[in-house]
A = this chain, B = another copy of it.
Amino acid sequence: MREAAEGIRERFGFGGEVEKAVPLERVQLREPRLKRPTAFGDLFSDARYERVSHALGKAYRDVVRGFRGEFENPPDLVAFPREESEIETVLSWAEAEGAAVIPFGGGTSVVGGVEARLGERPVVTMDLRRLDRVLEVDPASLAARIQAGATGPRLEEQLREHGLTLRHFPQSFEYATLGGWIATRAGGHFATLATHIDDFVESVRAITPRGTWESRRLPGSGAGPSPDRMLIGSEGILGAISEAWVRVRPRPEFKASVGVEFDDFLAAAGAVREVAQSGLHPANCRLLDASEAELTGAGSGAANLLILGFESAGQPVDGQLDAAIEISRAHGGAAGEVRKQSPQESGAGDDAVGAWRGAFLLAPYLRDTFVACGVLSETFETAITWDRLEEFHAEVMETTRAAVAEASGVPREGPGAPRVSCRFTHVYPDGVAPYFTVLAPAVRGGEVEQWDEIKAAVSEALIGGGGTITHHHAVGRDHRPWYDRQRPAPFAAALRAAKAELDPAGMLNPGVLIDP
């Protein structure tokens, strides 16, 4: 940790004094307000470790509070259902007790989605990770029925036996669950076409307080508003997702990728727009600005880096990559070496693309280290149509730099100044999803207030500029003030009415999406 701290200070010019996390045994925890029922075996737990480890998500403000041993809203009990009947048991027991129930997957929410900020109301957090099986595979339709609590590695490991893969790789992959992804409209591996888990869902099954919600397995339908699309993104307020049929695919055999450098960020964005509108459908089309490229070790910091990748299970993809490179060149891009993989030749090489991928997957694990070393790290993500991108990007970067410097009490420029960088995570014919990363010296002891101040300023810029408050991190509790302004008022009224109908006790994840 000391070495990490020195490295951080040397690299960023801030952070560096190591603090120690408060150990579990020194955490002051409110006594459970619910008595653990003994009639249901080990379904409910009141163990200290479980209550603490289910009290928070993984937002920066969560990691900081966990580090300091501040668990203001621990669940009173944690339930671990093994099957749907046990989900029903948890719901009916909690309803009788007047308790709230928070469905919990991997606990990787970065938007306050699993923290029960409910004052006096007792809370049961329902951890679904024991429901972790691939129940059925349909090789003809390339679909699989998977329980909601299966984490990325668990479901991929079971699909691998059938030569199949879901290929949904958010940064939360290792811990997050299928049900959590569906409930939060998680973004994944593919930069185009199937950008969200939404696109993989063939049908969903959920347990609501008023019965089981199960849609038919259908490749497509036009029968009324899509029932699945109402559950997808419902963040646990309508029911607990128990399983889903999802579209899977054979593992890709052909891959080709390249890094393309651009001096000018907007020129690079122009290339991305043309690629996104070309119908080439790259699997990867991620643009890192120069600062982000340097941060992830993928570039020197002198140029913006566009990572282009194509993949297919059955067809060579070289032609598509060539066409995308040609488009990039026309916008001033300088392509690096093409990295290929086919059934005949395996890919290799420690280049920019590989460096970026490594950094992407490791990033979430650095956050505890950052907190210990006094570094505030946070990300903001959104989406915007192409016509507004230039102004929007400039405005959000400017607002973020100013807000971070102000909240951190440091100058905006020069040695030790905060780092603000941008990448594009997903691209569309009509727009793009920009993703902003912030690194700044933490205000020791005041990190949460510092974070809240930055979060509010940036969120104002996102909403004021016409973007969405979230492209794939979800709404939870932290995004509520801006989400409430973004969504159509009659839709909010409709959603409230729908919830009141299915969950008249208002027990399911209260405070998320709509008021408790």
Among listed A15-23, A76-84, A230-238, A348-356, interface-contacting one: A230-238
**Contact of A280 with B315 in the complex, beta carbons under 8 Å:** yes
Point out the residue from B216, B468, B474, B497 that lies within 8 Å of A218, measured CB to CB: B468
**C-alpha gap A384/B386 in the complex (Å):** 37
A319 CB contacts on chain B under 8 angstroms: 319
**Contact of A426 with B220 in the complex, beta carbons under 8 Å:** yes
Contact A430-B143, Cβ < 8 Å, known A229-B226, A315-B323: yes
CB 8 Å contact bits of A482-496 with B (1 = contact, 0 = none): 010011111101111
Within 8 A of B (CB), among A351-403: 383-387
A314 to chain B, nearest CB (A): 5
Among listed A207-215, A296-304, A337-345, A407-415, interface-contacting one: A207-215
**C-alpha gap A473/B223 in the complex (Å):** 8
**Contact of B385 with A217 in the complex, beta carbons under 8 Å:** yes
A405 to chain B, nearest CB (A): 28
Contact A232-B225, Cβ < 8 Å, known A387-B141, A466-B216, A497-B497: yes
A211 CB contacts on chain B under 8 angstroms: 489-490
CB 8 Å contact bits of A192-219 with B (1 = contact, 0 = none): 0101100000100010101111111111
A386 CB contacts on chain B under 8 angstroms: 138, 140-141
**Contact of A218 with B279 in the complex, beta carbons under 8 Å:** no
A286 is an interface residue with CB less than 8 A from chain B: no
A227 CB contacts on chain B under 8 angstroms: 487-488, 491
**C-alpha gap A384/B41 in the complex (Å):** 42
- What bracket does the count of chain A residues touching chain B fall in? 35 or more
Count the copies.
Answer: 2
A185 CB contacts on chain B under 8 angstroms: 221-222
Point out the residue from B143, B187, B218, B313 that lies within 8 Å of A222, measured CB to CB: B187
A433 CB contacts on chain B under 8 angstroms: 219-220
A277 is an interface residue with CB less than 8 A from chain B: yes
Contact A466-B217, Cβ < 8 Å, known A497-B497, A502-B490: yes
**C-alpha gap A217/B384 in the complex (Å):** 8
A471 is an interface residue with CB less than 8 A from chain B: yes
**Contact of B502 with A220 in the complex, beta carbons under 8 Å:** no
Point out the residue from B218, B224, B314 that lies within 8 Å of A483, measured CB to CB: B224
Seen from chain A, the residues whose Cβ lies within 8 Å of a Cβ on chain B are 138, 140-143, 184-187, 193, 195-196, 202, 206, 208, 210-227, 229-235, 238-239, 247, 249, 273, 277-281, 312-315, 319, 323, 383-387, 426, 428-433, 466-475, 479, 483, 486-491, 493-498, 500-502, 513
The 6 closest A-B pairs by CB, nearest first: A219-B431, A219-B428, A494-B498, A229-B229, A497-B501, A185-B222
* Given pairs A220-B471, A224-B235, A278-B312, 15 additional interface contacts (CB within 8 A): A140-B385, A140-B387, A213-B489, A215-B487, A218-B385, A219-B385, A220-B428, A221-B383, A221-B468, A224-B483, A224-B513, A225-B231, A227-B487, A230-B494, A247-B430
